[in-house]
């Protein structure tokens, strides 16, 4: 590409001004150089032109890219503004909510303070009430213990009352029994419980006869003897003998009792009830059981005399008694003295 130097070109003006001071040779050289410079200048201008074109293209592309970036930036800015606007609105809403929440929080704080005061009051009241409850519980426990003691006393008193009532009933029954004597009941009490109290309520002779009949029916020696002793105590000898002698078993029981407990009465009632053989055998047993030889000797002598008087009942025992009597005399070293007894040589 050829570039033409214009007269107004600063380089040309400068070159013209410099040529006036040189010689023609120098001018020639300078012209050559100038020509070379001009070519170089043209080349450089061409390069600059190409660069400028390239730069313009690049600038255009860059401008386009810048425009694109501007558009993108504007779009981004619009989006950012939109987002910021939304965010600002959200932020404003959040700030408003925060303010509202703060107000609510303040209200809640005041409410909490009030509730805290109420809780403190209620706690104090609760502690006071708890103390009162403890006191009441203690009082209740004390009352419960007293109530238990009272109930125990009441139960014991009830038991005592029941026992007393039973005793009263028994006494009433006993009183009724005394007021209206029952020989059969009296014997039942005596037989089952060894209780002779009701027996003493029997007063009439006829009831005592019935009493003795019921006693004999028990076939119990203790019962019969107890009734007989009561009859003996409460009746004269005649009436007592009349009641006894009509009951053979009763005589047998009574004599058995007297034989073991009262020998003198036994002898008396053996004679009273005509129990001569039984009395003789009793005298013989007594004599044979005697340890004292002298006393035995005397008792055997009485037996010989008694058995001789009742030989029709006791004759079969006389020989044995005489032999025992002789043996006792030998033991005492006594001279046998004939005893005037019929039928004894």
What's the pLDDT tens digit per position in 51-62? 777 777 777 887
Closest CA to 279 of 270, 287, 288: 270
Furthest-apart CA atoms within the chain: distance in Å: 241
Cα separation, 211 vs 232, whole angstroms: 13
Residue pLDDT, tens place only, 28-70:
777 777 777 777 778 887 887 887 777 777 778 877 877 887 7
For 137-175, b/e burial (b = at least 16 CB within 10 A) is eeeeeeeeeeeeeeeeeeeeeeeeeeeeeeeeeeeeebe
pLDDT mean over 158-186: 77
At 201 the pLDDT is: 86
User: At a CB cut-off of 8 Å and minimum separation 6, what does 87 contact?
Assistant: none
Its pTM stands at 0.44
Cα separation, 51 vs 59, whole angstroms: 11
Q: Is residue 283 within 8 Å of 306, Cβ to Cβ?
A: yes
What H or E segment, with its residue span, contains residue 216? helix 205-217
No. of helices (H) and no. of strands (E), the chain: 12, 0
Cα separation, 7 vs 5, whole angstroms: 7
Residue pLDDT, tens place only, 287-308:
988 889 889 889 999 998 998 8
pLDDT band at 18 (very low <50, low <70, confident <90, very high): low
* 127's tokens: 């502690």
In whole angstroms, how far apart are CA 36 and each of 13, 19, 179?
A: 17, 15, 186
């Amino acid at each position: 590409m050829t570039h033409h130097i214009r007269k107004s070109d600063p380089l040309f003006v400068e070159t013209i001004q410099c040529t006036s001071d040189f010689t023609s040779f120098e001018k020639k050289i300078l012209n050559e150089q100038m020509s070379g410079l001009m070519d170089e200048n043209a080349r450089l201008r061409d390069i600059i032109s190409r660069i400028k074109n390239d730069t313009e293209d690049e600038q255009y592309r860059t401008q386009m890219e810048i425009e694109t970036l501007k558009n993108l930036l504007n779009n981004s800015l619009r989006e950012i503004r939109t987002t910021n606007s939304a965010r600002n609105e959200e932020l404003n809403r959040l700030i408003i909510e925060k303010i509202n929440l703060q107000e609510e929080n303040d209200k809640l704080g005041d409410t909490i303070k009030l509730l805290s005061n109420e809780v403190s009051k209620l706690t104090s009241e609760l502690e006071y009430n708890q103390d009162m409850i403890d006191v009441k519980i203690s009082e209740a426990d004390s009352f419960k213990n007293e109530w238990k003691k009272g109930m125990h006393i009441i139960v014991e008193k009830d038991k005592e009352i029941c026992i007393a009532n039973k005793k009263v009933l028994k006494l009433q029954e006993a009183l009724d029994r005394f007021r209206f004597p029952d020989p059969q009941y009296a014997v039942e009490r005596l037989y089952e419980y060894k209780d002779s109290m009701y027996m003493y309520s029997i007063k009439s002779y006829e009831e005592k006869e019935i009493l003795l009949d019921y006693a004999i029916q028990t076939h119990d020696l203790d019962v019969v003897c107890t009734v007989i002793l009561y009859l003996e105590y409460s009746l004269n000898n005649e009436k007592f003998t009349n009641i006894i002698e009509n009951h053979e078993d009763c005589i047998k029981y009574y004599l058995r009792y007297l034989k073991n407990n009262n020998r003198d009465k036994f002898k008396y009632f053996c004679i009273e009830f005509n129990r001569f053989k039984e009395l003789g055998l009793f005298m013989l047993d007594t004599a044979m059981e005697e340890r004292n030889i002298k006393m035995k000797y005397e008792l055997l002598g009485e037996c010989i005399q008694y058995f001789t008087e009742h030989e029709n009942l006791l004759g079969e025992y006389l020989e044995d008694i005489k032999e025992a009597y002789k043996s006792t005399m030998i033991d005492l070293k006594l001279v046998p003295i004939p005893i005037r007894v019929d039928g004894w040589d």
